[in-house]
Amino acid sequence: MYISDLALNDFRSYREVVVSCQPGITTFVGENGQGKTNLVEAIGYLATFSSHRVNADASLVRQGANAAVVRAKVMHGESPTTVEIEILAGRANRARINRGNAKPADLLGIVRTVVFAPEDLELIKGDPSVRRRFLDDVMIQLRPRMAQIKADYAKVTKQRAALLKTMWKTQRRGGIIDHATIDIFDGQLARLGAHIIAERARIVTELRPYVEQYYREVSGGKGVARIDYIANIDERTGWELPSATQLETDDTGQLLADITAHETQLQDVALTEERLREALGQWREQEIERGVNLVGPHRDDLAISLGTLPAKGFASHGESWSYALALRLASWRVLRDDVSGNWADDGEPILILDDVFAELDARRRQRLADIVRQGKQVFVTAAVGDDLPVELDGQKFSVHEGQVTPLDEAVDETIDEPVPSPVTSGMHDDLRGAR
């Protein structure tokens, strides 16, 4: 799978731009603030309907415009598919597939991406929400139906939290609490939450060997990286991951086997739903008293360890970079190896490296370049071309003041807009018609 043409209208800094792409490595070079990251951000948005830079879609719409359009021609083998998403500030997005109207959810899975950016250091150093989002982005690309389950779960938790606050006020006034309604919400939370936990646990199982492999390759063999899924339901029912002391002094092999066995149990949707129902019953009084949802996958985390110590707080800056890269490369490999879905035979994700090489030392740059050269399509952004290893050969574009030009056509600081090809001209016409 690869993108052959990308067209943007009123997306971020771009009023209108069209770029023709090829398989292999494509590099966008330009100073900060010129728009190079906006291009790869748009590609990533087609895969997950989210940005790696901001949480609100309204930020993606060019100032003064009512909507932004991202359109791409995606090649699976010899078969082209044209996808389009119209981002409407404050309203539901609209989508088209091959010029026909579609539900936005129908686009999920057609484009797959893995994005690595400087913000990914938060995977190691940041809050659990960052790591949950990492797992969920992989989950939605592997199982597009999970996008709706996740949205439904978010709605249930919001409504349930409001109900808990109402119950607390009623209880405080000495009124009688009706538990029938909260029972209904408990059932919905347990049913939807069990699917999310099961899918996340399965993804962690698939990611684990690749995280270890890629950390070893990127870091040069310094330390053993391991990830484990921490389910909030375990905390609420008394099951805990072994501590660093246990891993140093006890039978490590048996402890790791127990972790893996427990992770397998979490993948049993029926069993996990039952455990969630029980935990919700046990913690109901505390939830009413605090007015918040204390049980469920919205409080889960991904344990990231280096040797027997947690990476957060113990890993050096270079080790943290290597670990964040290993997580993204592992997700790329899991998506690449996936044998399910409509595009299983040609579903290798597009790899996006946004301003990454400038942050790495020479050895890590070289090791990363050797790995990503294996990708079918890789997009790289850089402020300075000299930051990139010479092995990253392929298409190169200069990005300057919103103009994207093949690098061999750029002259000094003057960037002339290239003449569109018949294909890209057609894309311009279609976008104008769509607006």
Residue 281 sits in a domain whose CATH number is 1.20.1050.90
pLDDT at residue 246, rounded to an integer? 61
Using a 10 angstrom Cβ sphere, with 0-12 exposed, 13-18 middle and 19 or more buried, the burial of residue 359 is middle
Reference 352, options 132, 7, 36; nearest CA is 36
- Does residue 280 carry a pLDDT above 50? yes
Residue at 151 is within a domain:
yes
pLDDT at residue 247, rounded to an integer? 58
SS3 322: helix
Q: How far is CA 245 from the centre of its chain?
A: 33
Please state, in angstroms and as integers, the Cα–Cα distance from residue 414 to each residue in 17, 88, 400, following that order: 17, 34, 9
pLDDT at residue 255, rounded to an integer? 74
Query: How many domains, in total, are found in the chain?
Result: 2
248 pLDDT band, cuts 50/70/90, is low
Using a 10 angstrom Cβ sphere, with 0-12 exposed, 13-18 middle and 19 or more buried, the burial of residue 197 is buried
CATH number of the domain enclosing 107: 3.40.50.300
Query: Do residues 319 and 325 lie in contact, with contact meaning Cβ atoms separated by under 8 Å?
Result: no
pLDDT at residue 384, rounded to an integer? 86
Using a 10 angstrom Cβ sphere, with 0-12 exposed, 13-18 middle and 19 or more buried, the burial of residue 33 is exposed
- Does residue 435 carry a pLDDT above 70? no
Residue at 38 is within a domain:
yes
35 marked ligand binding residue: yes
Mean pLDDT of the region 89-103:
92
For 375-395, the pLDDT digits (tens) are 999 999 999 888 888 888 889
In single-letter form, the type of residue at position 295 comes to V
162 contacts: CB under 8 Å, gap ≥ 6: none
* Domain final position from 283, 315, 340: 340
Joined tokens for residue 243: 């501590």
| Cα angle 82, 346, 98; round to 5 | 15
> Which residues partner with 344 through β-bridges?
none
Same-domain check for residues 184 and 296:
yes
pLDDT at residue 226, rounded to an integer? 92
Helix (H) or strand (E) holding 94: strand 94-97
Same-domain check for residues 279 and 404:
no
Determine the angle formed by the axes of helices 146-172 and 179-219, rounding to 10 degrees: 130
Q: What percent of the chain has a predicted confidence (pLDDT) above 70?
A: 90
419 pLDDT band, cuts 50/70/90, is very low
110 pLDDT band, cuts 50/70/90, is very high
Looking at 8-12, 152-156, 175-179, 245-249, which range is the least confident one?
A: 245-249
Same-domain check for residues 63 and 89:
yes
Same-domain check for residues 433 and 382:
yes
Residue at 265 is within a domain:
yes
8 contacts: CB under 8 Å, gap ≥ 6: 14, 16, 17, 18, 38, 39, 42, 68, 69, 70, 71
Same-domain check for residues 322 and 336:
yes
Same-domain check for residues 366 and 304:
no
For 171-195, the pLDDT digits (tens) are 889 888 888 999 999 999 999 999 9
Mean pLDDT of the region 85-92:
89
Same-domain check for residues 92 and 218:
no
423 pLDDT band, cuts 50/70/90, is very low
Residue at 215 is within a domain:
yes
| Cα angle 415, 72, 401; round to 5 | 20
Same-domain check for residues 215 and 265:
yes
Same-domain check for residues 303 and 333:
yes
Residue at 20 is within a domain:
yes
pLDDT at residue 414, rounded to an integer? 39
193 marked ligand binding residue: no
36 marked ligand binding residue: yes
31 marked ligand binding residue: yes
Residue at 37 is within a domain:
yes
Distance (Å, whole) CA 107 – CA 48: 9
- Does residue 101 carry a pLDDT above 80? yes
34 marked ligand binding residue: yes
Residue at 120 is within a domain:
no
Same-domain check for residues 357 and 427:
yes
32 marked ligand binding residue: yes
Domain extent at residue 348: 1-112+343-435
Same-domain check for residues 305 and 369:
no
Same-domain check for residues 177 and 82:
no
- The CA radius of gyration of the chain, in Å to the nearest whole number, is 23
Joined tokens for residue 60: 């993606």
Residue at 121 is within a domain:
no
The stretches of 220-268 forming alpha helices (DSSP H) are 232-237, 244-249, 252-266
Distance (Å, whole) CA 79 – CA 347: 12
* Domain final position from 300, 321, 340: 340
- Does residue 270 carry a pLDDT above 60? yes
pLDDT at residue 417, rounded to an integer? 43
pLDDT at residue 409, rounded to an integer? 57
318 marked ligand binding residue: no
Distance (Å, whole) CA 11 – CA 24: 25
220 marked ligand binding residue: no
- Does residue 286 carry a pLDDT above 90? yes
* Domain final position from 323, 340, 357: 340
pLDDT at residue 115, rounded to an integer? 94
Reference 394, options 28, 24, 29; nearest CA is 24
Helix (H) or strand (E) holding 146: helix 146-172
Using a 10 angstrom Cβ sphere, with 0-12 exposed, 13-18 middle and 19 or more buried, the burial of residue 126 is middle
